Chain A
């Protein structure tokens, strides 16, 4: 039987076999694509090392969850679900597109395994997948142009709007789907017209619609359409392939790699240079990221992978209060810069220019509180904290540190705390603990099983000393044998490191490690999440570290600590997740359970802004000294969230959160209407003694 239409492989074009053209298109397409990719890979080969070829089971798990299962997408429900449709549609249609390309020169080609029963199932599946992608793409285009979600806006200082590119790509996708369907539909319509058996087009798919539209079309028209659809599909397919590495759609190619190599640990900070031991840091000529090539190859891959979805900046507290920082543009500016410095043709600009003062400003980089909200949200596993720290290391190395931070850094160097208070007064708070609870001092030669690591703010700040005193009373009530280091304790250096002063951090770490080891304790307890994170993630060779909330839950569970109901406390409490307890350490539940262990206490949640979506209070450590450009304090935003949740008391579990929230209550004019209390203080008030 004669086929109903001449297939692409048998067609002629200007008297020549079309086969030649259909072989040429993929050859040229793949050639151009390879050329582009070679230029895109070039900067990665110049980059700093980053040993990520390890921990394969965890990486495969990340790919299955974050990439394949699109785990983070539904956090933004509408956009997320639409993306999932497009993603699975693309995965499904990849086989069909490959088959189509080869059909141009191998007539009747089917991919291995796609014949027979599976082929039929696949054909039905791909028809529906294609149709779903088409509908989603149309919907997405309407959403972007008519409804314009706020997070896609491009502020003027960051350049032009990205909507035209987005809509153009959606148009390409629709072209692919329509041409693929027309190719099928024209053949089926011709077969039906000639009374030949037709293969079934699934109802309500694009192909099915086109087949009905084409029902009355003439044979030559169908033949023309069949070949035109094929050619358009082929050209569009390879144009799209080569267009991907030009901008935000590069993620279609890079995302699987980016997720595979994504950061697997939270709360850690990358070493100054991978492969260089801490003891050899002095030998490094330069610290941190100063020029583009100082980034690691993974950080460059991050820039390539950014899909411009704006979720990072939408959740970024610095961006929310209009500090000059938007994580999305940290990536996009770096990508633009990279494309400009590594052009596809022509010579690369000779000298390597510095990034600060070029694409980034000093204030932009200091604005980050390292809260981790951006990294938590990114559907592609792009990281920001290490980049911020590396850029800061570069600035510190060049002496670019704002005056507001120079004083506390100098005081930390000389006195071990950012206020320059006397070392010998570090344990002065002990005097206020009260009768019935004795705090041992390792500096006086006493011994104990547990070390309470207090850290600077809780040791010296008048208000925060109350946290230390409450924590001590909890430890006493729970029967814990504990002591403090007193003058032998220095600042944990958590923010010193995250503000890029690595050598000062190393000095503080060395000092504290010696003091802690000399105390010969079995465990460390702290009520400061920043100290907790530092001791756990930045230090090594220390006994296990616990946050006070974990200890409270344990002590209540074992009956060693008994809590009683508040005396007619009619307040409604809400727990504010500290970044370095929650996102960076996964301790979401212990503080909540500790609060709930108080009988009769009413607690609500800031539903959309709690746990891993908690909103940073303004930042801890050195961030208290930094004077940012901002329109509002982060703490004020947070207090308003708490109020909206119906709370009139905010429970924090971090001294910096308490400072920021208490200040914010005053700034927001909510004094008397809203109270902030530290978890230790709250528990201390309810101990049954």
Chain B
């Protein structure tokens, strides 16, 4: 099975203290560290496990700039055979539809049976997987937490709100967005990345992909971010401040006062 996994480089929410820039259009990016979007990591692990079982190959693709190469290499160090960088100044500032347009072109340049995306990105809107499927006219399932390969179709599990589970059959080729917890992604250290450091990663730009530069990027975006801020505490909300111990003590006090703790 030929699998394409779409990954994204994001500021790691666990390892950063995200602060909004004055003006509100973006976050402060000076001290940020980046990593591969957590959901995407599960998608790559799942793709590798599928290929281990039924054969084929895994390609990891990302849209970004040269900095994004590190996440592609990291995923290749996990065991993905191929990388693919989709880089063009014209892609910058794309909305979800723009990203899906670029990815659709990349999918059509290859010969894939299955496309996986993360269910969402740390800094995203959980929209690309669905749009990509629609543009390709492929079937789509979101929040997938189990995949079994059958002949020309997949048996998949989906996580339903409230902890319920749903099982579906889906015809190949298809697009799936992967939920965390579907597997336990393997560890990749410095050594693993160095091992794939010299592997050539093909780069494709808008013209190589046959994408109309005006339809993507800032120019083609039909959704624009207007503001970005930490919401003010509303009525009834109280921000507890102090050291961890002090916060815990205050919380216990509050819970006791409101009858939540006896």
**B187 touches which one: A282, A401, A507 (CB < 8 A)?**
A401
Closest-CB distance, B154 to chain A (whole angstroms): 25
Given A411-B14, A420-B12, A462-B245: A504 and B190 interface contact (C-beta under 8 Å): yes
Interface SS of chain A: helix, strand, loop or mixed? helix
Task: Mark out the residues of chain A between 392 and 417 whose CB falls within 8 Å of any chain B CB in the assembled complex.
Answer: 396-403, 405-407, 409-411, 413-415
B31 / chain A contacts, CB cutoff of 8 Å: 422-424
Cβ of A501 within 8 Å of any chain B Cβ, yes or no, is: yes
Q: Which of A420, A422, A423, A504 contacts B189 (CB 8 A)?
A: A504
Interface string of A112-150 (1 = CB under 8 A from B): 000000000000000000000000000000000000000
Q: Check A503–B189 contact: CB distance below 8 A.
A: yes
Q: Are B191 and A287 in contact (CB under 8 A)?
A: yes
Q: Answer whether A414 and B15 are a contact pair too, CB < 8 Å, given A403-B184, A422-B31, A462-B243.
A: yes
With a cutoff of 8 Å between Cβ atoms, the chain A residues found around residue B188 in the complex are 399
Least Cβ–Cβ distance between B122 and chain A, in angstroms: 13
Would you list which residues of chain B between 162 and 198 have a CB under 8 Å from chain A? 184-192, 194
Q: Which of B14, B33, B187, B194 contacts A400 (CB 8 A)?
A: B187
Contact between B187 and A409, CB atoms less than 8 A apart? yes
- B16 x A420 contact (CB < 8 A): yes
Of all chain B residues, the one with the shortest Cβ separation from A507 is B190
**Interface: B207 (CB within 8 A):** no
- Assess whether B15 is in contact with A503, with CB atoms less than 8 Å apart: no
Q: Within 8 Å of chain B (Cβ to Cβ): is A463?
A: yes
Q: Which residues of B contact A411 (CB under 8 A)?
A: 14-15
Decide yes or no whether B108 CB sits under 8 A from chain A.
Answer: no
**Bound CA span A631–B114, Å:** 44
Name which of A402, A405, A410, A423 has the most chain B CB atoms within 10 A of its CB: A410
B-side interface residues, number (CB < 8 Å)? 22
In angstroms, Cα B192 to Cα A202, docked, is 71
A507 to B194, CA, bound (A): 13
Closest CB of chain A to B27's CB: distance in Å? 14
Would you call B14 and A407 a contact (CB within 8 A)?
A: yes
Name the A residues within 8 Å of B245 (CB-CB).
462-463
The answer to whether A414 touches B184, judged by C-beta atoms less than 8 angstroms apart, is no
User: A residues 282-309 with Cβ under 8 Å of B?
Assistant: 282, 287
CB atoms of B192 and A399 under 8 A apart: yes
Q: Are A413 and B191 in contact (CB under 8 A)?
A: no
Decide: B33 and A415 in contact? CB cutoff 8 A.
yes
A281, A422, A507: which has the most chain B beta carbons within 10 Å? A422
**Contacting pair A396 B190 (CB below 8 A):** no
A414, B33: Cβ atoms under 8 Å?
A: yes
A residues 362-412 touching B (CB-CB < 8 Å) = 396-403, 405-407, 409-411
Taken together as a complex, chains A and B put the C-alpha atoms of A415 and B34 apart, in Å, by 11
Residues of B within 8 A of A463 (CB): 244-245
Q: Report if B35 contacts A (CB, 8 A).
A: yes
A396 and B15 contacting across the interface, CB-CB below 8 Å: no
The answer to whether the Cβ of B123 comes within 8 Å of any Cβ in the partner chain is: no
List of A residues within 8 angstroms of B192 by Cβ: 397, 399
Q: Considering residues A287, A406, A502, A507, which has the most beta carbons from chain B within 10 angstroms of its beta carbon? A: A406
Q: Is the CB of A462 within 8 A of B244?
A: yes
Is the C-beta of B17 less than 8 angstroms from some C-beta in chain A?
A: yes
Residue B78 interfacial (CB < 8 Å): yes
Q: How many Å lie between the Cα of A422 and that of B11 in the bound state? A: 13
Instruction: Check B191 against A410 for contact (C-beta < 8 Å).
Output: no
**Given A414-B15, A420-B15 in contact, is the A400-B186 Cβ separation under 8 Å?**
yes
Residues B35 and A410 in contact, CB atoms below 8 Å apart: yes
CB <8 Å contact, B17 and A501? no
Contact residues in B for A415 (Cβ distance below 8 Å): 15, 33
- Cβ 8 A contact of A399, one of B35, B187, B190: B187
Q: How far is the CA of A400 from the CA of B188 in the complex (A)?
A: 9
A501 to chain B, nearest CB (A): 6
Q: Tell me the chain A residues, 464-505 only, with Cβ under 8 Å from chain B.
A: 501-504
Most buried by A among B15, B31, B33, B186: B15
A503 touching B78, Cβ below 8 Å: no
| Contacts A410-B35, A415-B15 supplied; 5 other A-B pairs, CB < 8 Å | A403-B184, A414-B12, A420-B14, A462-B243, A463-B245
The 7 closest A-B pairs by CB, nearest first: A399-B186, A420-B15, A401-B187, A414-B33, A503-B190, A503-B191, A462-B243
Binding site for A on B (CB under 8 A): 12, 14-17, 31, 33, 35, 78, 184-192, 194, 243-245
28 contacts between A and B (CB under 8 A): A281-B191, A282-B191, A396-B187, A397-B192, A398-B186, A399-B78, A399-B186, A400-B187, A401-B186, A403-B184, A406-B187, A407-B14, A410-B15, A411-B14, A414-B35, A415-B15, A420-B15, A422-B16, A422-B17, A422-B31, A423-B31, A462-B243, A463-B244, A502-B191, A503-B189, A503-B190, A503-B191, A504-B190
Show the binding face of A for B, using Cβ within 8 Å.
281-282, 287, 396-403, 405-407, 409-411, 413-415, 420, 422-424, 462-463, 501-504, 507
